[in-house]
Amino acid sequence: MEMGIDWAFGAGEQGITFVTRGNQEWYLEHSFSYFTGPQSFARTPGHEGPAETLPQAVGILYNIASAESGILQCFQCHSTGPVALGAGRAIHPLEPGVRCESCHGPGRKHIKAMRRGDLENGFKEISNPGRLSANGLGERCGACHRPPEPDVTVDWKDPWNTRHSPVYLVQSRCFQRSDGRLSCLTCHDPHAPLRRNEPGYYARKCSACHETPRHSNVNFAKTGAADCTGCHMPKVQPHPYLQFTNHWIGVFRDGGPLTPIR
């Protein structure tokens, strides 16, 4: 069976999943994704079960009209602006990729005002997520880094759910006791690449509130103050080639990275 690839989802930091339009009603998520770590292909998450037929082995079909399928939401989170259904019900993202207007909203009036030198109205004509409250910012970021399913109780024992960062952050005592000072933007610059493998950078963020942390753990002498997240925001690996940081900041038992003991 031969089938072309129409779309590639993901920035490639950890992996890329491929999607093909089947017909007017169905899109296919391919059964094999590319994973950056091993630089090879492996089964797409959620496709691990046995395939009884060749079409099942190719991938999973998602109906365009089904709200439960999530295929339109996939396009909405991985593109900018409204997603339209064109001729033959083909999905047409306005602008591929996550760009400025994904977070700041429509920018035409802002651009026009700035070009004519009207700075006052220019700033009013664009949404600035930095002005939102911590909860509001979590909702804005959570539009894509969202709960697993709307109006469904989160299963904290499911390691896959740790990829929904805002949902976990609001469970943290650090967040709840910060009086709104701790938000997604406290640690992450949305205009810069993610600071991977830089524990010292995040340790400095923690020290803004925890100036002199007290540690009873003897291992602290080995790790020092340069890796707060290594213990208090452990990595969770629900897939051999995918890893997520648990944003439920807390104290964890060794080997228990999903829910903190306090």
- pLDDT (tens digit per residue) in 89-126: 889 999 999 999 999 999 999 999 999 999 999 999 99
Give the pLDDT score at 152: 78
pLDDT of residue 197: 86
**pLDDT of the residue at 171:** 95
pTM above 0.85, yes or no: yes
Give pLDDT tens digits for 149-180.
777 789 999 999 999 999 999 999 999 999 99
Give the model's pLDDT for residue 149: 72
Compute, in degrees rounded to 10, the torsion defined by CA atoms 253, 259, 261, 262. Answer: 130
Is it the case that residue 64 has pLDDT exceeding 60?
A: yes
pLDDT in tens, 228-254: 899 899 999 999 999 999 999 999 988
**Helices and strands, number each (H, E), in the chain:** 12, 10
Q: Which residues contact 178 (CB under 8 A, 6 or more apart)?
A: 134, 209
Taking only the tens place, the pLDDT of each residue in 185-231 is 999 999 998 898 888 899 999 988 887 766 665 555 455 557 889 98
The two three-digit tokens of residue 199, written as one number = 């524990």
Q: pLDDT band at 75, cuts 50/70/90? A: very high
Q: Rg of the Cα trace of the chain?
A: 21
CA–CA separation, 124 and 145 (whole Å): 26
